[in-house]
Copies of this chain bind each other. A is one copy, B any other.
Amino acid sequence: MPKASEEQRLDLINAQQRLRAEGRSAVVVVTGVDGSGRHRLVNALTHGLDTRGVKVHAWSREDAPGSDRPPLWKYWQGLPAQGQVAVYLDGWYAEPLDRALRGASPDLSAIRQLEAQLIGHGSVLVKLWVERPLAEARRDLRKRLKREARDPTLSEQRVLAAEDGAQDQLDALRAHSEGWTMLSGKAPEVAADQAREALIAAMSAPTPPVPVPGHHRNRGAQALAALDMSAALSKKASNKQLPEAQAELARRIWAARARGQSTVVVLEGADAAGKGGVIRRLTDPLDARLFQVVPVAAPSDEERARPYLWRFWRHLPKAGQLLIFDRSWYGRVLVERVEAFCRRDEWQRAFDEINDFEAQLTDHGAVVRKFWLHISPEEQLKRFEDRAETPHKRHKLTDEDWRNREKWDDYRVAVEDAVARTHSAKAPWTLVPANCKRHARLAVIQTLIDALAPD
């Protein structure tokens, strides 16, 4: 294995030390076709570093975890915390490489988003491509397999069986994703040396200015104003319709489970909008094994150490579950925007990040439905006063709730923006007039019934 010189090693360790001191993390992706020598390069890199706090993610493509979750899930799980280094062998380029070897052109949009989020979070991203012309790599592989008298593994088979046009697709893949450091697979010593230099340079560079998305026009959305806030349901009607709807929802959730289809529900709304009551009516008829409610509050320190969406990716269940978020990733463009808990460029970027995240869920087959429970300021005041007077509800009311009321108009603008910029056919918003709790509860359940296939 090509070893680092003592001087280079020192530079690496120093750069790693600076990374820790600055609370940044580094992500290294090493890729190339089988036979290019990328395993050797991962070793050369790892051994140049202080291995404490370095994690290598090198699944063979056959035993990669999480096949029942969206493809990028497994990479999100492994993202390093502050001060740590993650080295991915192929990483999120494993699937595009496979497609290229089959002569097909890959879709890189989700990958671009992931990389943009890493950079936006302040992580160092180093992408190393160990180049070896496919024809040469195949020739070498054949020789080696003959010499070692062993069966090719599945990934080697893919290289050996590469389709016509695969080399063009590999070139295109590299050309269409940014920031590669190209290394020669023919000269391992030189490649290892260059890889280490690239890593040192990247870790030593000052945090790059984060690209700010172009200022978007105010779309003047008035969806909330158009809501019929008088919508109401009588107790009698509710007593009849709610149990029927609940039973139908339970049937459809079981059917989704049988199909292996997940359902992701986002519940947002002002304080006292009635999210808890909706969740109770949603889950009451369901078997406890079918659903999971994720309450979203302040992030933990492990969550703060990683790109924003990590804390939601980690909750994604196996296929076939109903996942209900009580508040969600929309916090970024609602409370964090309004209260200035994040920078302006962060929440402005978040719209694209969220659209991409939800597209990955729906592309994987999940049903995604988002609800804004809308109440009037007068109704909220009434509910606050009620909470203040009811012993077992008093804990739900905090000083913060009263403060948030003062920013009603800011929240309203933020909600309009969020809805306008993240509404899509596959992950639609439903704005629910929620001054009448009975109406709101039935409306949410009915929307979910319509979203789920009957069998």
Binding site for B on A (CB under 8 A): 10, 13-14, 17, 21, 39, 42-43, 45-47, 50-56, 58, 87, 89, 276, 279-280, 283-284, 287-289, 291-295, 300-302, 326, 392, 395
Contact = CB atoms under 8 A, between A and B. Distances in A.
Given A295-B53, A301-B301, A392 B289 contact: no
Nearest to A327: B52
Contacts of A89: 289
A204 B308 CA distance: 36
Contacts of A291: 51
8 contacts: A17-B392, A21-B395, A52-B276, A52-B279, A55-B292, A56-B289, A56-B292, A301-B301
Copies in the complex: 2
B14 A392 contact: yes
Nearest to A42: B288
Contacts of A301: 300-302
A294 B21 CA distance: 19
Given A39-B287, A56-B288, 15 more contacts: A13-B392, A21-B395, A43-B288, A46-B288, A47-B283, A47-B284, A51-B283, A52-B279, A52-B293, A52-B294, A52-B295, A56-B289, A56-B292, A300-B300, A300-B302
A50 B87 CA distance: 41
Contacts of A10: 392
Nearest to A40: B287
Contacts of A392: 10, 13-14, 17
A223 B10 CA distance: 37
Nearest 7 CB-CB pairings of A with B:
A52-B295, A46-B288, A56-B288, A51-B293, A58-B289, A43-B288, A42-B288
A326 B42 CA distance: 22
Nearest to A295: B52
Contacts of A58: 288-289
